[in-house]
Amino acid sequence: MKKFLSVLLALGLAVSATACAGGASSSSEAASSEPEATPAAESEAATSEAAAATGEVMTYDEYMAAAVDEAVTIESCVQAKQSYYAEQGTATVYLQDEDGAYFAYDMACTQEEYDAMTEGTRIRVSGYKAEWSGEIEIMDGQLDEILEGDTYVAEPLDVTELLGTDELESHQNEKVKFTGLTVAPSTIEGDTTEYAFLYNYDGSGTQGDDVYFNVEYNGETYQFLVESYLCDSSTDVYKAVEALEIGQTIDCEGFLYWYEGVNPHITSVTVAG
Amino acid sequence: MKHRTRPAALLLAACMAGALLTGCHGSREQAAFTVPDSFDTSRDYEITFWAKNDTNKTQTDIYRQAIEDFQALYPNITVTLRLYTDYGDIYNDVITNISTGTTPNVCITYPDHIATYLTGDNVVVPLDGLFTDEKYGLGGSELAFDGPAQNEVMPRFLEECRLNGHYYALPYMRSTEACYVNKDMVESLGFTLPEDTLTWDFIWEVSEAAAATKGADGVYAVNGQEVLIPFLYKSTDNMMIQMLRQLNAGYSTASGDVQLFNDTTKDLLLDIAGHTASGAFSTFKISGYPANFLNAGQCIFAVDSTAGATWMGCGAPLVDIDPSEIVEFETAVYPVPQFDPAHPQMISQGPSVCIFNKEDPQEVLASWLFAQYLLTDEVQIAYSQTEGYVPVTEKARSTPEYQDYLSRAGEDDDDHYDIKIQAAQLLLDHPDDTFTTAVFNGSASLRNAAGQLIEDVTKGVRRGQTVDDAFIDQLYTDTAALYHLDSVAANGAAKADLGPLPGTAAALLAALAAAWACILAYVARQAVRARKKVKKE
């Protein structure tokens, strides 16, 4: 009996030691995997917030006529998407169909839905119309559904001649192109050097940040940028801008974003001469 | 035109942080750092410095200059700079790199973030021993530069870097929030600005009066424009935190017990809702940068960081809007509005510097030397002048150079831009009126939640929802769940559901129970036998 008990207790000790090791590990894991910050549930909550906005699908004209802060639901086609913000379960999407363009800022969707949205995919989005520093957008939106059937990929509209005119704003968020622009110098405060592009608007950034460059047309200078969340440093357009030289003639394509004025998010640059 | 990049929401990577930090408890676990007896200058060290700037080229130039000057003093240390413009991005990248053992050596950070980093073992170096080291500590005898002694670092700011009884960071720069006021518009409405401190009542009264000037044609008489946001707040988390603090109401305990969802908060939210309904109030997330509205004559009270002062006012050196949209007005700079002007309370904020642990203590020591170098007068004074920051050392503040800088406010609209220097002076004038919130694992989420309450109430009103007690109650529930505040225990740790008992544990308990049962049975049997033996005898 004593031998049996000794064996049993020894076994218990061994199992105990093993369990303690595992337990310690589990314990620390539990402590460190504590849901410190926020968002896993972000997309869920964003969804519930936007759900209130879900309503009848509006036409583009109805959407444009809607007041700021009004609940809106639209159907349109994905033209491009910024990188997925996994922490909060959102993505910013450029949308356009035959009638007009939309910008859905931080639209709630799952990673799977994000992956399923390719150029041309038709989707239904609900949210609230907003104006942020001049940009008309859908705020606090959610992806209601990815729609089967018709897809649409917009042809870029040449708005070169509209640069500097009030009419340009009426094409906000559309896929556009500019032709025959001249790369103009960018400068950094306190530095007389002329640059063809800058990382961040004032040159304070490094590779990987947004890239800004100036273009000249009809004697006026405009500032364009490659938005790094849309086209990161591995993309052709990012590299093309890094290779620009002052004085070159270029054609650009992108989306007519607005921030206190025209602020195109450029997706393609071609050196024409 | 210049552009400030629209920031992505500063919501932090909760689960990612948790999941990745879990990986710290494995093969990459590091030994605790101990200060070497001496710095081995016969070896070369390569250290990385992750720094945050306010999208400000001058700041990045100062970092680069500091590195160059430091390397001249320590030729065997090479510092590689990586620049960020967003604290959230630094935080996310650090979390990712903790799991792969590739953290930077020196990193600009916030104590809230350090609290999360500390959930990994020996990830962040405690600085207590380094502070006091005779040779390499603050003001140490073997330093190649004239750094501050520990008692020359502002004690209040140093204390903000103390977590769990240890110092885990050095303060680098400090700022607070300021209320930038269009004085002309206030006076045109028939009000007179107070001399020292704005009250919430005053701000709401003036803002309501301004909103009421909207005519049938949609134009506000007070500014002659169709756009007016009388009171615009940049950081609504700070807004809520400061309001609660001023009212001595609950936010959290020092140990992490969440108190945010209380009746005072509800009263404040309902008040804000009322002012939103009358068009007196909005937020940065909903409408845009306060500076843009202020400078266009479309805002009367703009609250933003003192570290954003170079954007404020019609003569601001940094501007986002078209120059033709800027209107002429006199800008007044005040502390954030107060409930009790006799006892003002304002948030202390600004970057700190932490050091990540490495296998080689000499590398950590090299990191410490560089981190400490950032507190030298040259770096402190130069960086503080880029915005409405203040140096964190008394040593730098008391230099003739810095005093001269302060005395020249308004000499030009660049280095001596008066709004910027007034903003810095505001913090210098209130050394005992600043506060920070408790730091614990989860405090960053709580901060976000505090701001989200205001954002959601403001949006709710603007979107025609009824914001009442029921709305707030539901908002409390949703916000607590969204930010996992319903799962944070009082000590800041999660109330984790540990799930069913593992099989090995069940087997262990069964074996132990069986062993004890047998022992008891054996003892009982022996006792019975002994009794029988006695009886027989």
Q: Residue ranges of the domains in chain B?
A: 14-175+349-398, 177-347+435-487
Asked whether B305 and B173 are in contact (CB, 8 A), the reply is: no
Tokens coding A28: 């620390």
Nearest-Cα residue of chain A relative to residue B320 = A260
Report d(CA B516, CA B520) in Å as an integer: 6
CATH number of the CATH domain containing A229? 2.40.50.140
Mean pLDDT of A100-121: 98
Residue B428 CA: distances (Å) to CA of B42, B279, B399: 43, 34, 14
Domain boundary at A80, A114, A147, which? A147
Judgement on whether residues A54 and A137 belong to the same structural domain of the protein: yes
Judgement on whether residues A78 and A183 belong to the same structural domain of the protein: no
Nearest-Cα residue of chain B relative to residue A6 = B515
Domain boundary at A119, A147, A175, which? A147
For residue A102, give the amino acid letter. Y
Instruction: Classify B445 as helix, strand or coil.
Output: helix
Judgement on whether residues A140 and A76 belong to the same structural domain of the protein: yes
Binning pLDDT at 50, 70 and 90, where does residue A54 land?
Answer: low
**ipTM of the complex in this document:** 0.80
First and final C-alpha spacing in chain A: 97
Size of interface A-B (CB pairs under 8 A): 216
Report d(CA B101, CA B114) in Å as an integer: 16
Judgement on whether residues A124 and A170 belong to the same structural domain of the protein: no
Q: Is A238 among the domain residues? A: yes
| Kind and range of the H or E run holding A267 | strand A265-271
Same fold, B14-175+349-398 and B177-347+435-487: yes
Asked whether B163 and B111 are in contact (CB, 8 A), the reply is: yes
Q: Which residues of B touch A15 (CB under 8 A)?
A: 504, 507-508, 511
Q: Is A89 among the domain residues? A: yes
Count of CB atoms situated within 10 Å of the CB of B360: 13
Tokens coding B259: 């108190």
Burial of B100 (0-12, 13-18, 19+ CB in 10 A): exposed
Judgement on whether residues A113 and A216 belong to the same structural domain of the protein: no
Tokens coding A76: 């349109």
Q: How far is A150 from chain B (nearest CA, A)?
A: 32
B163 touches chain A (CB under 8 A): no
Q: Is A30 among the domain residues? A: no
Report d(CA B431, CA B256) in Å as an integer: 26
Instruction: Classify A10 as helix, strand or coil.
Output: helix
Yes or no, beta carbons of B518 and A8 under 8 Å apart? yes
Q: Is A233 among the domain residues? A: yes
Chain A from 122 to 141: CB within 8 A of any B CB: 128, 130, 132-133, 140
Tell me, what's the pLDDT at B54? 80
Yes or no, beta carbons of B6 and A133 under 8 Å apart? yes
Percent of chain A at pLDDT > 70 equals: 80
B19 touches chain A (CB under 8 A): yes
Judgement on whether residues A165 and A254 belong to the same structural domain of the protein: yes
Question: What is the CATH code for B177-347+435-487?
Answer: 3.40.190.10
CA–centroid distance for B324 within its chain:
35
Instruction: Classify B479 as helix, strand or coil.
Output: helix
Q: Is A2 among the domain residues? A: no
Tell me, what's the pLDDT at B509? 62
Tell me, what's the pLDDT at B9? 40
Chain A from 152 to 181: CB within 8 A of any B CB: none
- Partners of residue B170 on adjacent β-strands: B353
Q: Which residues of A touch B512 (CB under 8 A)?
A: 12, 16
Q: How far is B425 from chain A (nearest CA, A)?
A: 25
Report d(CA B488, CA B495) in Å as an integer: 6
Q: How far is A54 from chain B (nearest CA, A)?
A: 13
Report d(CA B161, CA B87) in Å as an integer: 16
Instruction: Classify B220 as helix, strand or coil.
Output: strand
Single out the residue of A219, A216, A211 nearest to residue A265, CA to CA. Answer: A211
What dihedral angle (degrees, nearest 10) is formed by the CA atoms of B161, B164, B165, B170?
A: -20
Residue that has been written with the tokens 């559901």 in this structure? B497
Q: Which residues contact A203 (CB under 8 A, 6 or more apart)?
A: A186, A188, A191, A195, B57
Residue B185 CA: distances (Å) to CA of B220, B222, B311, B332: 12, 7, 19, 11
Report d(CA B438, CA B162) in Å as an integer: 10
Q: Which residues of A touch B496 (CB under 8 A)?
A: 30, 33-34
Q: Where are the beta strands (DSSP E) in A33-133?
A: 71-81, 90-96, 101-108, 122-132
Tell me, what's the pLDDT at A175? 98
Judgement on whether residues A161 and A125 belong to the same structural domain of the protein: no
Report d(CA A54, CA A125) in Å as an integer: 8
Binning pLDDT at 50, 70 and 90, where does residue A22 land?
Answer: very low
Tell me, what's the pLDDT at B88? 83
Q: Is the pLDDT of residue A21 over 50?
A: no
Q: What is the DSSP string of A145-159?
A: EEEPS----PPPEE-
Report d(CA B261, CA A225) in Å as an integer: 42
Domain boundary at A121, A147, A173, which? A147
Report d(CA A93, CA B280) in Å as an integer: 32
Number of structural domains found in chain A: 2
| Kind and range of the H or E run holding B113 | helix B111-117
Asked whether A251 and A257 are in contact (CB, 8 A), the reply is: no
Tell me, what's the pLDDT at B506? 58
Single out the residue of B49, B55, B53, B56 nearest to residue B71, CA to CA. Answer: B49
Tell me, what's the pLDDT at B53? 83
- Partners of residue B281 on adjacent β-strands: B231
Q: How far is B518 from chain A (nearest CA, A)?
A: 7
Mean pLDDT of A180-190: 93
**Range list of H helices, B320-417:** 361-373, 377-384, 394-397, 400-407
- CB-nearest to A5 from B13, B121, B518 is B518
Yes or no, beta carbons of A12 and B508 under 8 Å apart? yes
**Range list of H helices, chain A:** 2-32, 42-51, 60-65, 111-116, 236-242
Single out the residue of B318, B301, B345, B21 nearest to residue B186, CA to CA. Answer: B301
Q: Is A165 among the domain residues? A: yes
A106 touches chain B (CB under 8 A): yes
Q: What are phi and psi of A197, to 5 degrees?
A: -160, 165
Judgement on whether residues A52 and A117 belong to the same structural domain of the protein: yes
Yes or no, beta carbons of A38 and B484 under 8 Å apart? yes
Tell me, what's the pLDDT at A87? 79
Question: What is the CATH code for B14-175+349-398?
Answer: 3.40.190.10
Yes or no, beta carbons of B322 and A71 under 8 Å apart? no
Judgement on whether residues A203 and A221 belong to the same structural domain of the protein: yes
Tell me, what's the pLDDT at B22? 44
Q: How far is B24 from chain A (nearest CA, A)?
A: 9
Q: Is the pLDDT of residue A11 over 90?
A: no
Asked whether B356 and B107 are in contact (CB, 8 A), the reply is: yes
Choose the mutation target among A2, A4, A36, A136 for the interface with B, i.e. most B CBs under 10 Å.
Answer: A36
Range of the domain at A69: 42-147
Report d(CA B229, CA A133) in Å as an integer: 13
Judgement on whether residues A126 and A162 belong to the same structural domain of the protein: no
Tell me, what's the pLDDT at B518? 67
pLDDT (tens, 9 = 90+) of chain B, 537 residues, equals: 344 444 444 333 444 444 444 443 333 557 889 999 999 999 999 999 999 888 788 899 999 999 999 999 999 999 999 998 888 889 989 999 998 889 999 999 988 899 989 988 899 999 999 999 999 999 999 999 999 999 999 999 999 999 989 999 999 999 999 999 999 999 999 999 999 999 999 999 999 999 999 999 999 999 999 999 999 999 999 999 999 999 999 999 998 999 999 999 999 999 999 999 999 999 999 999 999 999 999 999 999 999 999 999 999 999 999 999 999 999 999 999 999 999 999 999 999 999 999 999 999 999 999 999 999 999 999 999 999 999 999 999 999 999 999 999 999 999 999 999 999 999 999 999 999 999 998 898 999 999 999 999 999 999 999 999 999 999 999 999 999 897 665 455 544 444 445 555 556 566 666 767 767 777 677 766 766 665 555
B287 touches chain A (CB under 8 A): yes
Judgement on whether residues A123 and A198 belong to the same structural domain of the protein: no
Judgement on whether residues A180 and A209 belong to the same structural domain of the protein: yes
Q: Is A143 among the domain residues? A: yes
| Kind and range of the H or E run holding B529 | helix B503-536
Binning pLDDT at 50, 70 and 90, where does residue A14 land?
Answer: very low
Asked whether B456 and B474 are in contact (CB, 8 A), the reply is: no
Tell me, what's the pLDDT at A23? 33
Tell me, what's the pLDDT at B534? 55
The Cα diameter of chain A in Å comes to 103
CA–centroid distance for B286 within its chain:
21
Tell me, what's the pLDDT at B453? 98
